[in-house]
Amino acid sequence: MFDAKKLLDQFVNSGAAGGFAGGLAGGAVANAFMGKKGRKLTKSAVKLGGLALVGGLAYKAWQNHKQSSAGPAAGPAAGYGPAAVPAGNPASQVPQGTGFLPGPGDETGAQELSQLMVRAMISAAKADGQIDTRESQMILQQVNDLPLDDEAKAFLFAEYSRPLDIEGLVAAVDSPEHAAEVYAASALVVHPASPAEQFYLDSLARGLRLEAGLVQELHAAVASSTTA
């Protein structure tokens, strides 16, 4: 299996180097995978690494949403509501063992979650549907030229080539915590001023059954870790 955690780190590092449209392999590949008008991560955010960053954003939003809720009795009858989080654990702390990140030593879990986050980011980057056939062929050629092993390239080819499928992405999510992380990873890629991309996020939130308050906190967490 290819190193999905390392691949996710590359995606995040591209965001630190001048916006998500500026890194990875440059030009068309980064534009397709990370959004033409992508955000730029703060230096402190990118230091965390891809999985810790996405997990931390979701965890921070989860805590804030929990604190702003009226109380246990006000929890939703259906959908994903806030779960308990460790007392005294600051939102900026990497939440290993809380459901947002695999525990120490769980490399399989880290790889699987990283792969899901990369899937979410590529899917979100395709949300505006503005890649024509010529651009698509160029992107696939540049992916082929990336310094990645064959399995990683095959994964990127497959994810980029597949039709936009929110239902399929949602079906791969196995917990409320991972649902929040998928949304956070997607929000890092899209541009809030794009109607098509905002529609994608709205559809994703409905599919993931995220509460409106949690969605707002996720956007606030993403905004706090980006500069544009």
What does the alpha-carbon distance between residue 58 and residue 117 come to, in Å, rounded to a whole number?
12
For the chain, give every domain's residue range: 4-69+80-224
Say if CB 139 and CB 131 are below 8 A apart.
yes
Cα(107)–Cα(121) distance, integer angstroms:
21
pLDDT value for 87: 41
119-175 confidence digits (pLDDT tens)? 998 898 888 776 667 767 777 777 777 777 889 888 988 888 888 999 999 999 999
Residue 113 confidence (pLDDT): 96
Most confident of 39-43, 46-50, 69-73, 196-200: 196-200
For 26: left if phi > 0, alpha if psi spans -120 to 50, otherwise beta; the answer is left
Q: Is the dihedral of CA 107, 112, 116, 118 positive or negative?
A: positive
- pLDDT of amino acid 126: 83
Q: What stretch of H or E contains 61?
A: helix 50-68
Find the angle CA(129)-CA(162)-CA(179) to the nearest 5 degrees: 85
101: β partners: 96
As a whole number of angstroms, the distance between CA 148 and CA 154 comes to: 10
Q: What is the DSSP string of 108-129?
A: HHHHHHHHHHHHHHHHHHTTT-
Instruction: Give CA–CA dist 182/19, Å, rounded.
Output: 20
Whole-number Å distance between alpha carbons of 82 and 113: 20
Residues 88-115: tens digit of each pLDDT = 433 456 556 778 988 888 999 999 999 9
Find the helix packing angle between 107-125 and 27-34, rounded to 10°.
100
d(CA 116, CA 93): 22
In the prediction, which pLDDT does 207 show? 98
